[in-house]
Amino acid sequence: MDKKFTIILAAGHGTRMKSKLYKVLHPIAGKAMVDHVLTQVEQTNMDEIVTVVGHGAEKVEELLGDRTKYALQSEQLGTGHAVLQTEDLLGDEDGMTMIVSGDTPLFKASTFEELFDYHRQKGAAATILTANADDPFSYGRIIRNNVGVVSKIVEQKDATREEAEITEINTGVYCFDNKKLFAAIHQVKNDNAQGEYYLPDVIGIMKDQGEIVAAYQMKDFSESMGVNDRRALAVATDVMKKRINEMHMVNGVTIVDPSSTYIDCDVKIGSDTVIEPGVQLQGNTVIGGDVVVGAHSKIVDSTIGNRVVITSSTIEESIMHDDSNIGPNSHLRPKSELGEFVHVGNFCEVKNATLGARTKMGHLSYVGDATLGTDINIGCGVVFVNYDGINKHHSTVGNYSFVGSNANIVAPVTLEDHSYVAAGSTITNDVKEFEMGIARGRQVNKADYFKKLPVYEAAKKAEEENK
């Protein structure tokens, strides 16, 4: 079996993106474009992958790590020159080499496999991956002779009127006999307007030498989309979004409105889960089965158990165990964990805290830097006061405790099992088991005091008018 190699071209700066971020690092569905390409290439069982880097090389290498080897193109002298930079790593190898751009994030591994198989079957020195485009403008055209054999590639600016009407285009992906590739690369000239060495010129050189040049036409043109500016980035994102949503629906997930649902490529979702409109699922999120993710919720890098209900809320780097629920309009900030059957109601916030099984936190409360046991009731407007202006401090609440409405729990403090905090209290000391903590002034009623207030005259006037 022939060895297989891939060269990923990722050295261009991408000036049309008008961005400080290196072009191939722009994300689509939660993953950088070059990472999408590498991920699909990896699935084709390569013997070696080499990524050609230039601008932003350190950041690309930091992202991709040791999943690929690297070659540096310090000067941007064209795609042919970029391939030449890999000669020290691949030049002496026997086998097949695929060349693909790092800004084409929509290619699938299956298409790469089909290209290699076709190249092998044809015994070709070079095989061009082509596609049929409804609007071929700006693409190089594949020119075939009367028996369908590729004779040349013509760029848009050089095409005759008849050639410009051809809809079979060059996707920019090639498969070569590896040694013949490097032999031909050395013959490429830079006598063109840009003074660059172009990889497609290798095709003409091989044709002139009598080598077999084949072309494999892939089924789906959209896979070949290159991203050179923000408009193309948006179009590619939309294609990827549809692909991801369709995959989840095929696997048993109900997506009520796929057009308004945004799911990153690495998200995992169990069957019979319902995703309502406007939902964003990002990063390495894992969602169980029979979950309801309500409209306009956002979940980032979180783990959601089975039968969880999330209503219009934001979950970040947190865990919700089976049968818990949250919302509407609540927020789990990083390092939060809700146990089984925990209820977090509306307009609540939890940060770096654990709520044990069956604990309830109804509405308008904040729990931060705390460990709460099981079966606790947190009243309305409760605040865990965790910051002293310099440091954060931790609080602990034991099982079966009750924290009344509008209480302030000032950390560091421990409320033991079966403790009780009276409504409106500011707790600064520990509360022992079965004790009630109360910290507020006693109520005093002042007779006739209402008549001394400005509101009294207004009330009298309203009473007269309402008779």
Residues that are catalytic: 363
Taking each helix axis from N to C end, the angle separating 201-208 and 178-185, rounded to the nearest 10 degrees, works out to 100
Of the candidates 245, 294, 254, the residue with the CA atom closest to the CA atom of residue 273:
254
Q: Is the peptide bond before 328 cis (omega within 30 degrees of 0)?
A: yes
Instruction: Determine phi and psi for 18, rounding to 5 degrees.
Output: 50, 60
User: Minimal CA–CA distance to 201: which of 26, 78, 376?
Assistant: 78
CA distance 197 to 447: 95
**For 337-344, which contacts have Cβ atoms below 8 Å and span 24 or more sequence positions?**
339/374, 340/305
Do 188 and 208 form a contact (C-beta atoms < 8 A)? no
Q: Kindly give the residue spans of alpha helices, DSSP state H, lying in 15-104.
A: 33-42, 57-64, 79-84, 87-90
Q: Provide the residue type at 214 as one letter.
A: A
How far from the centroid of its chain's Cα atoms is residue 261's Cα?
13
Outline where 186-300 has alpha helix (H): 201-208, 230-250
Rounded CA gap, 437 and 382, in Å?
14
Q: Which amino acid, 431? A: V
Question: How many CB atoms are located within 10 Å of the residue 19 CB?
Answer: 15
Angle, helices 33-42/109-122, rounded to nearest 10 degrees:
50
| SS3 state at 373 | coil
Tally Cβ neighbours within 10 Å of residue 153. Answer: 22
Give me 369's structure tokens. Answer: 């830097």
